[in-house]
Amino acid sequence: MEGDFVVTPWQVTGDIDYDQLIQRFGTKKVDQALLDRLAGYGPLHPMLRRGVVYSQRDMEWLLDLYDKGVKFSLYTGRGPSGNTHLGHLMPWIFCKYLQDTFGAPLYFQMTDDEKFLFNEGLSLEDTYQKAMDNALDVIALGFDPDKTKIIIDTDCIRTLYPLSLKVAKKVTFSTAKAVFGFDNSTNIGSIFFTSVQSAPAFLPSVLEGRNVPILIPCGIDQDPHFRVTRDVAESLGFYKPALLHTKMFPGLTGGDKMSSSVPDSTIYTTDTAKVVRRKVGNAFTGGAVSAEEQRKTGGKPEVCAVFKYQYYLFEPSDQALDDLADRCRKGDVLCGECKKMLSDRLVHFLEGHQRRREEAKSQLGRFIMRCE
């Protein structure tokens, strides 16, 4: 395998070469022509402008249909194995932008079955409870309740199962092994699972009684699932879903991905202000060994986790971001000041999010899809 990084739906390790990943997965870069076209529907989201949303499949086709009046639906999801962190929130925030820009309905799948099958230590009750808890974070982002349905797999399996079966009949074990790296020790539920993850991509077509184009915004690590979905779609009479991929949200302690297995690299949506300030205080930066040295030599924003947080999610102004990078390189700003600025922003964001999360408890009934 080229490079020394691994990106699968269940494992992300090493320094990710995102351009090489496009080659590996056979996707297409989000190029200037697509950005120009997207800008015609509304202001470009900073994640698009900054290349955080950087890879795609079939976006031109989807927009051609949209321009002819064919409305699409959005589909994304979450494997509910624990608390929600900012890395999960990032593609959902982008998804909300897509819903707002295109007025698209969203189907949000909570794969409580997947997390039960793939995690030795989690019971089905655990993953179900996490699905309900994570749903609060989705609702707190402000999705339109009239256009958003959260599907909890084990609740909705009667609806998903016929579609899953149709997918499963088209996918061989050999394909599942090649795409996901399964072997003979893999439990048979895991082998079947990708067909359940495909089902919501076809569900809008079944519900609306027409072939509904689908756009899936997701982390690039989820692309293997949807390669399988796309491979079987046309033979089942559906469109292949289009995709927009985000890069992985960086960890605070350095590295390419925020990970629940390294708690200090991760800001959870339920973290207190004190915890946030401690984690940011310990973050990996591109600063020099001493303040004096840094004033002389400057810092390296391109490797700095604190800078990356501003870049990926928290600094809306491109100009302010350029200024910060410039001041860092010249040694005009020191890491302590920078960490304080990020902590203040994170605390402010989380205070609002946690308030909306509480309010979301009374709205669950409007968002969770009812299935017979």
Cα–Cα dist 203/105, whole Å:
12
Q: Is 164 in the site for ligand SF4 (CB under 6 A)?
A: no
Q: Is 313 in the site for ligand SF4 (CB under 6 A)?
A: no
Q: Is 304 in the site for ligand SF4 (CB under 6 A)?
A: yes
Find all residues with CB under 8 Å of 32, minimum gap 6, and list them: none
Whose CA is closest to 93, among 62, 52, 128, 131? 52
- The amino acid that residue 301 corresponds to is P
Find all residues with CB under 8 Å of 43, minimum gap 6, and list them: none
For residue 343, the SS3 value is helix
Q: Which residue of 156, 199, 333, 369 would you call a contact of ligand SF4, by CB under 6 A? A: 333
Q: Is 201 in the site for ligand SF4 (CB under 6 A)?
A: no
Q: Is 307 in the site for ligand SF4 (CB under 6 A)?
A: yes
The minimum distance between CB 334 and ligand SF4, in angstroms, equals 6
Stretch that binds ligand SF4, among 167-175, 279-287, 314-322, 345-353 (CB under 6 A): 279-287
The number of C-alpha atoms within 13 Å of 66 and in the hemisphere containing its C-beta is 22
The minimum distance between CB 303 and ligand SF4, in angstroms, equals 8
Q: Is 285 in the site for ligand SF4 (CB under 6 A)?
A: yes
Q: Is 346 in the site for ligand SF4 (CB under 6 A)?
A: no
Burial class from Cβ neighbours inside 10 Å (0-12, 13-18, 19+) for residue 80 reads buried
The minimum distance between CB 262 and ligand SF4, in angstroms, equals 19
Total site size for ligand SF4, rule CB under 6 A = 13
Token reading at 325: 């990078």
The minimum distance between CB 179 and ligand SF4, in angstroms, equals 38
Q: Which residue of 168, 338, 346, 350 would you call a contact of ligand SF4, by CB under 6 A? A: 338
Helix (H) or strand (E) holding 273: helix 273-281
Cα–Cα dist 285/299, whole Å:
8
Residues near ligand SF4 (CB under 6 A)? 285-287, 299, 301, 304, 306-307, 328, 333-335, 338
